Structure 1
Amino acid sequence: MKNPVVYWELASSDAGKTVEFLRKVFDWNPEYDPGTTIHEIPAGESSSAFSGGGVFTLRRAKLPFLTLYIRVEDIEEKARLVEKSGGFIVEPPFSVNDSTKICLFNEPSGVTLAMLEKTAEK
C-alpha cells in the first residue's frame, strides 16, 4: 500500500490522566519524551498486525472525529474495565458482522476510542 498510516497522536486535556487510563485498561507502557513532551507508545509487535483504516460519513458523533481501534480478546471484560478506570461507554459492545464486535468509549478526558474483538466465524 502506498502512504500507509505509520503513526498516530491522541490529544487530551490531561495527557497524564489519559496515559494512566491506557496503562490500566490496555497494559500499554508509554515512555515520556521530555524533548517533545509526548508519551510515546511504540508499535512493538502490533506493527505487523496493523490492518489500516477507513473513511465514512459521520451520522451520530460530533466532528472532528478520529477513532483508534484497539484489538482486544474479551471486549465485554474490557468495557467493564473502561468504566472501572474512569472511562465512559459511548456504544456498548455490538456485532458488526459474524466475526467482529466493536465498542466505542471515552477515556477520562473525553477522547473517543474504540475496541475491536475478532470472534470465531460462524
Structure 2
Amino acid sequence: MGRPVAFFEITSHDAERARKFYGELFEWTTEADPELGGYAMVDTGAGPDAIGGGIGPSQGEGDTGVKIYVRVDNLDDYLARATKLGGQTLVPPMDLPGDFGRFAVFADPDGNPVGLWE
C-alpha cells in the first residue's frame, strides 16, 4: 500500500505576506501562533478529509519554498530508505510539540526537500 501525502508546508522569508497571498488566493484561513514562532496552521475549508498544512517563517538558508510531508509508519526506516536510494537527510527525526508524532526532512536526488511524518 502506498503512503499518503498528509501535510503541506509553505515557508517564506516574509511569512505574513505568504499567509496573506495564499489566504486570499485560495480562501484559506490562517492565524499565526506566537508560541510557534509565527507559524500558522492552514484551514483550507475543504472539510475534514482535506490535507492539512502550515505557513511559517523560514528557519534557515535554503528552506524557503513548498514541501509535502508523507505519512509513514516507521520514520527511521523510511529515512534510511531515502538515503539508500540517493537522498540526503536535511532534518533528522524530531518530536513535534504536543502529541503530534515525529518528523524528518530529506532531500531527494534532485535536491527537493520532502518531509516524513510519523
TM-score normalized by the length of structure 1: 0.53
**Between Structure 1 and Structure 2, how many residues are aligned?**
74
Structural RMSD (CA) = 2.4
Q: Residue by residue, what CA displacement relative to the aligned partner does 1:91-119 show, whole Å, maximum 9, x if unpaired?
A: 111101334101000000100110000xx
Q: 1:63 & 1:85 partners in 2: Cα distance?
A: 22
Q: How does 1:64-103 map to 2 (within 5 A)?
A: 64-97=64-97, 98-103=99-104
One-letter amino acid of the structure 2 residue matched with residue 100 of structure 1: G
Q: What residue in structure 1 maps to residue 36 of structure 2?
A: none
Question: Aligned to 1:54, what secondary structure does the other structure show?
Answer: strand
Q: CA deviation at 1:61?
A: 4.1
Question: When you count strand as a share of all residues, which structure comes out higher?
Answer: 2
Unaligned runs of 5+ in 1: 6-47, 118-122
Q: CA deviation at 1:62?
A: 1.8
Question: Aligned to 2:55, what secondary structure does the other structure show?
Answer: coil
Q: CA deviation at 1:63?
A: 5.5
